[in-house]
Amino acid sequence: MPERKNITRGLRFTLTAVYTIVFTLLLVAVSLFFRQNLASNLDEQAHEDLNQNWAIVKAYLRIVNDKGQNNYHAVWVFDSDDPEEAAAVAAAKKVYTIADEKGRVMDGSTDDQTLGLANPKEIRAALQAPGAQFSERTDEDGVPYLIRASYVNGEEEPNKKFYVAIGTSLAKSHKLLRSFTWQGAALLPLVILTGITIGWIFAGRALTPVLEIAETAQRISGSNLSLRIPVRGAGDELDRLIETFNQMIERIEVNFNQVRQFSTDVSHELRTPITVVRGQLEVALFTAETVDQYREAVVNCLADIERLSQIVRALLLLSQAETGQVILQKQTLDLVEIAEGIVDQFQIPAEGAEVTLRFIAHTPHCTGEFDRVQIERMLSNLLSNAVKFTPAGGEVRVIIDRKENEAEIRVEDTGEGISPEHLPHIFDRFYRVRGAGEQASPEKGLGLGLSFVAWIVRAHGGTVDVRSESGKGTTFVVRLPLTVLAGARQIDEAGLIVTGA
Element (H, E) at 331: strand 330-334
Compute how many residues bind ligand ADP; rule: CB under 6 A.
22
Determine the Cα angle at 430 with ends 383 and 266, to 5°.
145
The answer to whether residue 447 forms part of the interface with ligand ADP (CB under 6 A) is: yes
Span between the terminal Cα atoms of the chain, in Å: 52
Closest-by-Cβ residue to ligand ADP is 445
The residue type at 208: T
- The DSSP output letter for 495 is G
The answer to whether residue 19 forms part of the interface with ligand ADP (CB under 6 A) is: no
Smallest distance, ligand ADP to C-beta of residue 299, A:
24
Q: Is 198 helix (H, G, I), strand (E, B) or coil?
A: helix
The answer to whether residue 16 forms part of the interface with ligand ADP (CB under 6 A) is: no
The answer to whether residue 445 forms part of the interface with ligand ADP (CB under 6 A) is: yes
The answer to whether residue 432 forms part of the interface with ligand ADP (CB under 6 A) is: yes
Smallest distance, ligand ADP to C-beta of residue 460, A:
18
The answer to whether residue 455 forms part of the interface with ligand ADP (CB under 6 A) is: no
Element (H, E) at 44: helix 2-60
Choices 38-46, 75-83, 345-353, 448-456 (CB under 6 A): range interacting with ligand ADP: 448-456
The answer to whether residue 11 forms part of the interface with ligand ADP (CB under 6 A) is: no
Phi, psi for 499 (deg, rounded to 5):
-130, 125
118 CB-side CA count, 13 A: 22
The answer to whether residue 409 forms part of the interface with ligand ADP (CB under 6 A) is: no
Judged by CB under 6 A, the residue of 117, 132, 207, 386 near ligand ADP is 386
* CB distance 342 to 376 below 8 Å: yes
Judged by CB under 6 A, the residue of 418, 456, 459, 464 near ligand ADP is 418
* Crossing angle of the two packed helices 2-60 and 171-219, in degrees rounded to 10: 160
Smallest distance, ligand ADP to C-beta of residue 347, A:
18
Judged by CB under 6 A, the residue of 105, 446, 477, 498 near ligand ADP is 446
Choices 71-79, 85-93, 397-405, 446-454 (CB under 6 A): range interacting with ligand ADP: 446-454
The answer to whether residue 416 forms part of the interface with ligand ADP (CB under 6 A) is: yes
Judged by CB under 6 A, the residue of 415, 461, 462, 481 near ligand ADP is 415
The answer to whether residue 389 forms part of the interface with ligand ADP (CB under 6 A) is: yes
Complex with ligand ADP: residue 57 or 383, whichever CB lies closer: 383
For the four alpha carbons of 213, 214, 215 and 221, in that order, the dihedral sign comes to: positive
Complex with ligand ADP: residue 147 or 355, whichever CB lies closer: 355
Residues whose CB falls within 8 Å of the CB of residue 251, separated by 6 or more in sequence, listed in order? none
Smallest distance, ligand ADP to C-beta of residue 268, A:
14
d(CA 318, CA 451) in angstroms, rounded, equals 8
d(CA 161, CA 121) in angstroms, rounded, equals 15
d(CA 245, CA 452) in angstroms, rounded, equals 32
Query: If 0-12 CB within 10 Å is exposed, 13-18 middle and 19+ buried, where does residue 317 land?
Result: middle
The residues of the shown chain that bind ligand ADP, judged by CB under 6 A, are 381, 385-386, 389, 413, 415-418, 426, 431-433, 436, 445-451, 474
